[in-house]
């Protein structure tokens, strides 16, 4: 709406400017013609012609003027005076003239006079209109008057054309943006509908897998038991991805609302860490949990905070070199609480570090994807932290691991990790 009003305003102002410039040029042309014709009349007066005291010059049409001499007019002198006086006022375009013959009540056509060398205009010779209010007069017509005014407005017309092209490009851009927005909304609706449709078969598969796992015949057959566990685990993995997409859809929607509540972050972490530590140890690694913050009471949405912790630790596990080495810690920075997850994994190249929080972004690895995913984890973390008013920062070195820090609540410093170094006078581990 604002863009449409802006376009209409620009077009309106530009139209007024061109129209006003045209009127100014037209008035300027008229005044030049009147001055020139008045000087012509005075030249005849010097030769003995008696000029009337009123209605000396009359504009019959926009490009046709008649001059009341009130005496017999010499055609040769008229052409000379017209050429001389029009040039004197700066009018160089061609003109045609004629003298009224009262005996025949017709205009006797004189000639088409071109004061410009480059004027090759072919003029259709026609009798000039008769003006019945004068008895002795001559008429002058400027057939190229419109072209002359347009030529004098060259800069204005050029700028108007450029502005028009700009406006057209702007309109096209708005159309493209609206089209992209429509396609994006369609994509979101499709993804939302698709993920919701997945929920029913996922639930059915889960129930079926649980039935298989609890069946004595399946438990007695190691091969079938292994397949049943695979079905259960992969179904759980699929359900996790679907839930992640649904949560992101809610975040991007207008109806997303956090449900914050008071909780102790240390207690919260101690309930989550054991199950993840088991997974890390199964891979031959270790998860070191160092909770040193002097105050751990925060206000957060439990569900989303749990997802943040799981996503951070899951990334640390997935992107390790061999056995995962992870350090989960909390520290006090000023009056704020700093939560860090550091690993010794493959790290992130500098050119990708500012992109990893973008939606659907995954670090390019060619056609080989050793780690599966949608590229939603860090985008989800950033989105939830933003909703909470927390600040997220990342520090990574290729081959040297990655550290992600979350400051609760947000502080003024531009970099969380840098502020920690300034406080403790030592680098992040």
Terminal-to-terminal C-alpha distance of the chain = 52
Report d(CA 39, CA 84) in Å as an integer. Answer: 10
Give the Cα-Cα-Cα angle 57, 62, 67 (nearest 5 degrees): 20
Alpha helices in 67-221, H assignment, sequence order: 75-88, 145-152, 154-214, 216-220
285 in Cβ contact with 320 (< 8 Å):
yes
| Cβ-count burial 118-150 (b if 16+ within 10 Å, e if not) | eeeeeeeeeebebbeebebbbbbbbbbbeebbe
pLDDT number for residue 393: 92
pLDDT number for residue 320: 85
- Listed in order, strand segments (DSSP E) in 64-141 are 64-68, 95-101, 106-113, 137-141
Phi, psi of 67 (to 5 degrees): -125, 120
Give the CA distances from residue 92 to residues 36, 179, 275, in Å, rounded to whole numbers and listed in that order: 12, 53, 95
pLDDT number for residue 343: 92
Phi, psi of 117 (to 5 degrees): -65, -35
What count of other Cβ atoms lies within 10 Å of the Cβ of residue 84? Answer: 13
Report d(CA 391, CA 412) in Å as an integer. Answer: 10
Q: How far is CA 242 from the centre of its chain?
A: 32
CA dihedral sign of residues 346, 347, 352, 358: positive
Report d(CA 208, CA 202) in Å as an integer. Answer: 10
pLDDT number for residue 368: 39
Report d(CA 422, CA 352) in Å as an integer. Answer: 25
317 in Cβ contact with 281 (< 8 Å):
no
268 in Cβ contact with 233 (< 8 Å):
no
pLDDT number for residue 413: 43
pLDDT number for residue 422: 53
Q: What is residue 121's DSSP assignment?
A: P
Report d(CA 40, CA 78) in Å as an integer. Answer: 8
pLDDT number for residue 395: 92
pLDDT number for residue 138: 92
pLDDT number for residue 122: 53
pLDDT number for residue 342: 93
pLDDT number for residue 269: 93
Report d(CA 130, CA 136) in Å as an integer. Answer: 11
pLDDT number for residue 117: 52
pLDDT number for residue 352: 87
What count of other Cβ atoms lies within 10 Å of the Cβ of residue 367? Answer: 4
Question: Which strand (E) or helix (H) includes residue 104?
Answer: none
- Which segments of the chain have a pLDDT < 70? 1, 3, 115-126, 251-255, 364-375, 410-429
- Count helices and strands (H / E) in the chain: 11, 12
pLDDT tens-place string over residues 161-183: 888 888 888 888 888 988 888 88
Cβ burial of 15 (10 Å; 0-12, 13-18, 19+) is: exposed
Q: Collapse the DSSP code of 428 into the 3-class scheme (helix H, G, I; strand E, B; otherwise coil) and give the result.
A: coil
């Amino acid at each position: 709406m604002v863009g449409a009003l802006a376009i209409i305003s620009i077009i309106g102002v530009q139209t007024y400017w061109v129209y006003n410039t045209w009127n100014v040029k037209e008035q300027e042309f008229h005044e030049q013609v009147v001055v020139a014709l008045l000087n012509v009349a005075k030249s005849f007066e010097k030769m003995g012609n008696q000029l009337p005291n009123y209605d000396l010059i009359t504009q019959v049409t926009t490009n046709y003027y008649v001059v009341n001499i009130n005496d017999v007019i010499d055609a040769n002198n008229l052409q000379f005076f017209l050429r001389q006086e029009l040039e004197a006022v700066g009018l160089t375009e061609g003109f045609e003239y004629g003298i009224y013959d009262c005996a025949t009540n017709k205009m006797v056509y004189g000639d088409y006079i071109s004061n410009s060398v480059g004027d090759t205009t072919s003029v259709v010779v026609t009798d000039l209109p008769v003006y019945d209010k004068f008895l002795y007069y001559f008429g002058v017509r400027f057939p190229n008057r419109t072209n002359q005014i347009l030529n004098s407005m060259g800069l204005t017309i050029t700028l108007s054309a450029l502005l028009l092209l700009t406006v057209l490009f702007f309109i096209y851009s708005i159309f493209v943006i609206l089209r992209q927005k429509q396609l994006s909304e369609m994509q979101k609706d499709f993804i939302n509908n698709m993920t919701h449709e997945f929920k029913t078969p996922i639930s059915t598969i889960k129930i079926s897998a649980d039935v298989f796992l609890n069946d004595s015949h399946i438990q007695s057959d190691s091969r079938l038991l292994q397949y049943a566990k695979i079905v259960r685990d992969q179904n759980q993995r699929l359900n996790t991805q679907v839930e992640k997409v649904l949560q992101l859809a809610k975040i991007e929607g207008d109806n997303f609302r956090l449900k914050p509540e008071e909780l102790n972050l240390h207690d919260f972490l101690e309930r989550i860490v054991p199950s993840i530590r088991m997974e890390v140890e199964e891979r031959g690694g270790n998860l070191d949990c160092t909770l040193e913050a002097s105050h751990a009471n925060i206000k957060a949405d439990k569900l989303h905070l749990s997802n943040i912790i799981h996503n951070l630790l899951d990334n640390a596990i997935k992107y390790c070199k061999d056995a995962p080495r992870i350090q989960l810690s909390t520290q006090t920075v000023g009056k704020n609480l700093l939560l860090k997850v550091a690993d010794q994994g493959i790290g992130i190249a500098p050119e990708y570090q500012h992109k990893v929080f973008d939606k659907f972004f995954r670090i390019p690895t060619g056609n080989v994807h050793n780690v599966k995913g949608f590229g939603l984890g860090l985008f989800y973390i950033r989105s939830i932290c933003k909703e909470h008013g927390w600040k997220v920062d990342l520090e990574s070195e290729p081959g040297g691991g990655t550290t992600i820090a979350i400051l609760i609540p947000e502080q003024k410093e531009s970099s969380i990790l840098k502020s920690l170094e300034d406080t403790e006078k030592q680098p992040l581990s």
